[in-house]
Amino acid sequence: MFLPKSLRGYTKDGQQWGSGLFLLLMVEDGASKADGQWGVRAMVRHVHLHQFGHFMMGTLRVFVSHRKVVEVPLSGCYGADGLLRDVPSEVFALGTPLPQELYDAWNKGGGHNSSGSEELLMQEWAKKNLKQLRRSYKDG
Protein backbone atom coordinates (compact mmCIF):
# COMPACT_ATOMS: atom_id res chain seq x y z
CA MET A 1 0.00 0.00 0.00
CA PHE A 2 1.38 3.38 -0.92
CA LEU A 3 1.64 5.81 1.95
CA PRO A 4 0.28 9.34 1.50
CA LYS A 5 2.24 11.71 -0.75
CA SER A 6 3.03 9.01 -3.29
CA LEU A 7 3.01 9.95 -6.95
CA ARG A 8 0.50 8.42 -9.37
CA GLY A 9 -0.34 8.93 -12.97
CA TYR A 10 -0.74 7.53 -16.45
CA THR A 11 1.71 6.94 -19.27
CA LYS A 12 1.07 8.39 -22.73
CA ASP A 13 -0.49 5.00 -23.59
CA GLY A 14 -2.98 5.21 -20.73
CA GLN A 15 -1.24 2.71 -18.42
CA GLN A 16 -1.27 3.50 -14.69
CA TRP A 17 1.84 3.89 -12.55
CA GLY A 18 2.58 4.73 -8.93
CA SER A 19 5.75 5.57 -7.05
CA GLY A 20 6.52 6.29 -3.42
CA LEU A 21 6.85 4.80 0.02
CA PHE A 22 5.15 1.40 0.08
CA LEU A 23 3.98 -0.59 3.12
CA LEU A 24 4.70 -4.30 2.67
CA LEU A 25 2.95 -6.83 4.93
CA MET A 26 4.84 -10.11 4.97
CA VAL A 27 5.15 -13.60 6.37
CA GLU A 28 8.23 -15.80 6.29
CA ASP A 29 8.43 -18.36 3.47
CA GLY A 30 7.44 -21.79 4.74
CA ALA A 31 6.25 -20.65 8.18
CA SER A 32 2.91 -21.83 9.46
CA LYS A 33 0.78 -21.06 12.50
CA ALA A 34 1.08 -24.69 13.57
CA ASP A 35 4.85 -24.60 14.04
CA GLY A 36 4.71 -21.44 16.16
CA GLN A 37 6.95 -19.45 13.80
CA TRP A 38 4.18 -17.66 11.97
CA GLY A 39 3.93 -13.93 12.45
CA VAL A 40 3.28 -10.87 10.36
CA ARG A 41 5.90 -8.19 9.87
CA ALA A 42 5.99 -4.99 7.90
CA MET A 43 8.54 -2.82 6.14
CA VAL A 44 8.47 0.36 4.11
CA ARG A 45 10.58 0.90 1.02
CA HIS A 46 10.42 3.18 -2.01
CA VAL A 47 8.72 1.28 -4.84
CA HIS A 48 7.62 1.97 -8.40
CA LEU A 49 4.58 0.01 -9.62
CA HIS A 50 3.36 -0.11 -13.20
CA GLN A 51 0.28 -1.55 -14.82
CA PHE A 52 0.64 -5.09 -16.08
CA GLY A 53 -2.69 -6.17 -17.54
CA HIS A 54 -5.23 -5.62 -14.76
CA PHE A 55 -2.61 -5.57 -12.02
CA MET A 56 -0.16 -3.08 -10.56
CA MET A 57 3.22 -4.81 -10.37
CA GLY A 58 6.71 -3.91 -9.25
CA THR A 59 9.76 -4.97 -7.30
CA LEU A 60 10.81 -4.10 -3.78
CA ARG A 61 14.56 -4.23 -3.24
CA VAL A 62 15.97 -5.05 0.20
CA PHE A 63 19.64 -4.78 1.11
CA VAL A 64 20.05 -7.78 3.43
CA SER A 65 23.81 -7.34 3.75
CA HIS A 66 26.53 -5.04 2.48
CA ARG A 67 26.76 -6.96 -0.79
CA LYS A 68 23.44 -8.71 -1.16
CA VAL A 69 20.15 -7.35 -2.46
CA VAL A 70 16.98 -9.43 -2.46
CA GLU A 71 14.23 -8.47 -4.90
CA VAL A 72 10.66 -9.15 -3.81
CA PRO A 73 8.04 -9.12 -6.60
CA LEU A 74 4.94 -7.11 -5.65
CA SER A 75 1.40 -7.04 -6.89
CA GLY A 76 -1.06 -4.48 -5.60
CA CYS A 77 -1.84 -3.49 -2.04
CA TYR A 78 0.47 -4.75 0.74
CA GLY A 79 2.53 -6.57 -1.91
CA ALA A 80 0.13 -9.45 -2.60
CA ASP A 81 -3.13 -7.87 -3.80
CA GLY A 82 -4.29 -7.07 -0.28
CA LEU A 83 -2.91 -10.28 1.24
CA LEU A 84 0.33 -11.08 3.06
CA ARG A 85 3.44 -11.53 0.88
CA ASP A 86 5.70 -14.55 1.47
CA VAL A 87 9.33 -13.41 1.68
CA PRO A 88 12.69 -15.11 2.33
CA SER A 89 13.81 -15.39 5.98
CA GLU A 90 16.53 -12.76 5.52
CA VAL A 91 13.97 -10.18 4.38
CA PHE A 92 11.46 -11.17 7.07
CA ALA A 93 14.15 -10.69 9.74
CA LEU A 94 14.43 -7.00 8.80
CA GLY A 95 10.70 -6.41 9.23
CA THR A 96 8.90 -4.79 12.15
CA PRO A 97 6.28 -6.96 13.90
CA LEU A 98 2.75 -5.88 13.03
CA PRO A 99 0.76 -5.20 16.22
CA GLN A 100 -1.98 -7.75 16.90
CA GLU A 101 -4.73 -5.10 16.76
CA LEU A 102 -3.62 -4.08 13.24
CA TYR A 103 -3.50 -7.71 12.13
CA ASP A 104 -7.04 -8.17 13.49
CA ALA A 105 -8.21 -5.01 11.70
CA TRP A 106 -6.61 -6.24 8.44
CA ASN A 107 -8.15 -9.69 8.88
CA LYS A 108 -11.63 -8.18 9.31
CA GLY A 109 -11.15 -5.21 6.96
CA GLY A 110 -12.97 -6.67 3.99
CA GLY A 111 -10.43 -5.70 1.36
CA HIS A 112 -10.46 -7.72 -1.85
CA ASN A 113 -7.44 -7.08 -4.09
CA SER A 114 -6.99 -3.87 -2.10
CA SER A 115 -6.88 -2.56 1.45
CA GLY A 116 -10.07 -2.68 3.46
CA SER A 117 -11.47 -0.63 6.30
CA GLU A 118 -8.09 -0.90 8.08
CA GLU A 119 -6.36 1.39 5.57
CA LEU A 120 -6.28 4.54 7.71
CA LEU A 121 -5.11 2.62 10.79
CA MET A 122 -2.27 1.07 8.78
CA GLN A 123 -1.24 4.45 7.38
CA GLU A 124 -1.26 6.09 10.83
CA TRP A 125 0.82 3.26 12.32
CA ALA A 126 3.28 3.36 9.41
CA LYS A 127 3.68 7.12 9.72
CA LYS A 128 4.35 6.88 13.50
CA ASN A 129 6.87 4.05 13.00
CA LEU A 130 8.41 5.10 9.70
CA LYS A 131 12.01 5.20 10.92
CA GLN A 132 11.82 1.64 12.27
CA LEU A 133 9.90 0.35 9.19
CA ARG A 134 12.59 1.74 6.87
CA ARG A 135 15.59 0.39 8.81
CA SER A 136 18.23 -1.49 6.87
CA TYR A 137 20.77 -4.15 7.67
CA LYS A 138 23.20 -1.44 8.80
CA ASP A 139 20.84 -0.33 11.58
CA GLY A 140 20.43 -3.83 13.02
Residue 37 lies in a domain: yes
**116: domain range?**
7-128
Q: How far are the Cα atoms of 44, 84, 117, 133 from residue 140, in angstroms, in the given order?
A: 15, 24, 33, 12
Residue 30 lies in a domain: yes
Residue 136 lies in a domain: no
Q: How far are the Cα atoms of 50, 65, 78 from residue 120, in angstroms, in the given order?
A: 23, 33, 13
Portion of the chain with pLDDT greater than 70, in percent: 92
pLDDT in tens, 20-71: 999 999 999 887 665 555 689 999 999 999 999 988 999 999 998 888 999 9
Residue 47 lies in a domain: yes
Residue 35 lies in a domain: yes
Residue 136 confidence class, pLDDT cut points 50, 70, 90: confident
- pLDDT at 87 > cutoff 90: yes
More confident of the two residues 138 and 73? 73
Total domains present in the chain = 1
pLDDT number for residue 30: 80
Instruction: For residue 70, report the phi and psi dihedrals to the nearest 5 degrees.
Output: -110, 130
Q: CB–CB of 60/41 below 8 Å?
A: no
